[in-house]
């Protein structure tokens, strides 16, 4: 299978919440968009815009076809001095592990509560806070607020143009919406660039081999996706369980039964390592573990 590689750049137009965990009444967000979220958004757009049916079975089929023909990178917050960045050199990517002020610049919180109309008051115990990535950075006394962009990589099977629905992915990806609270207008983005043969991974020092979907990470680099947990001692960091939902044929959403355990993005790679992009959206695997 032969692959094409694209750099995606989105302009963030509204608050973005990517669920991480709930602590008390605070719903925390991830400081990036995982590949699985990009896969889900593209699946939804293709089904709704280019399919005659929108039942659970159709979502499953299109989602499975996307897994086989696409490999999804993660989207990271970035800043740019230009209004419409067209290549990776225009962007200053901001990783949360590199910037001590990341939370201050990029994260904010919305507070809300339900109403009890019978008491003309708020419903007891309904106060909640939703953390989100800001569409514009927070102001400082000597700085201007800046537009936030999302940038990352995507790999596409060259034969996807023969597929009756997947061939419309360039149009569909320009109309995606990410994350939670979408009914309230959150997660809206505008596609600014879909640039072939440009790469965030390469800018960060990774070597790419699109022919076999291999990524080589240099010593003392950081993971730019979740890595399936391995017994190797070359990774320094914590692990987490990647819980997620999947849609059954009935259209019902259910938690996946066997969620993978993975090293999160930002984990330190202590020696040169080779990874492969698995069919599971966004998940990397250590290459030597596959032999």
What's this model's pTM, rounded to 2 decimal places? 0.90
pLDDT for the residue 25: 84
- Domain hosting 199: range is 3-290
Average pLDDT for 108-128:
73
Question: Between residues 232 and 64, which one has the greater pLDDT?
Answer: 64
Mean pLDDT of the chain: 88
Task: Give yes or no for a contact between 16 and 178, defined as CB atoms under 8 angstroms apart.
Answer: yes
Residue 127 belongs to what H/E stretch? none
Cα 72 to Cα 82: distance, rounded to the nearest angstrom: 26
Residue 75 belongs to what H/E stretch? none
pLDDT, one tens digit per residue, over 174-209 is 999 999 889 889 999 999 999 998 999 999 989 988
pLDDT for the residue 32: 97
Nearest to 283 by CA among 18, 39, 30: 39
Cα 139 to Cα 198: distance, rounded to the nearest angstrom: 31
* 3-state DSSP assignment of residue 11: strand
* Cα dihedral sign, 214-218-224-226: positive
Nearest to 213 by CA among 145, 126, 278, 137: 278
Domain count, the chain: 1
When pLDDT is cut at 50, 70 and 90, the band that residue 39 belongs to is very high
Least confident of 40-49, 105-114, 243-252: 243-252
């Amino acid at each position: 299978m032969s692959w094409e590689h694209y750099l995606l750049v989105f302009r963030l137009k509204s608050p973005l919440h990517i669920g991480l965990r709930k602590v008390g009444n605070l719903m925390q967000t991830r400081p990036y968009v995982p590949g699985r979220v990009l896969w889900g958004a593209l699946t939804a757009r293709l089904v709704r815009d280019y399919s005659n049916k929108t039942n659970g079975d159709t979502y499953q089929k299109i989602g499975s076809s996307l897994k086989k023909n696409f490999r999804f990178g993660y989207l990271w917050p970035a800043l740019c001095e230009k209004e419409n960045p067209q290549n990776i050199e225009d962007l200053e990517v901001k990783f949360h592990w590199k910037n001590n002020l990341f939370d201050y610049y990029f994260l904010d919180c919305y507070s809300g509560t339900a109403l009890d109309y019978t008491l003309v008051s708020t419903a007891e115990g309904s106060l909640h806070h939703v953390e989100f990535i800001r569409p514009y950075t927070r102001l400082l006394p000597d700085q201007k607020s800046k537009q936030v962009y999302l940038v990352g990589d995507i790999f596409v099977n060259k034969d996807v143009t023969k597929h009756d629905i997947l061939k419309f992915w360039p149009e569909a990806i320009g109309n995606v919406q990410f994350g939670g609270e979408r009914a309230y207008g959150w997660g809206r983005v505008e596609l600014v660039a879909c640039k072939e043969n440009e790469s965030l991974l390469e800018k960060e020092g990774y070597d790419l081999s699109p022919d076999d979907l291999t990524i080589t990470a240099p010593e003392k680099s950081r993971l730019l996706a979740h890595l399936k947990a391995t017994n190797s001692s070359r990774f320094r960091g914590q692990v987490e369980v990647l819980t997620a939902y999947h849609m059954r044929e009935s259209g019902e959403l259910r938690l996946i039964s066997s969620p993978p355990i993975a090293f999160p993005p930002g984990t330190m790679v202590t020696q040169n390592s080779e990874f492969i992009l698995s069919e599971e959206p966004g998940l990397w695997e250590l290459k030597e573990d596959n032999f």
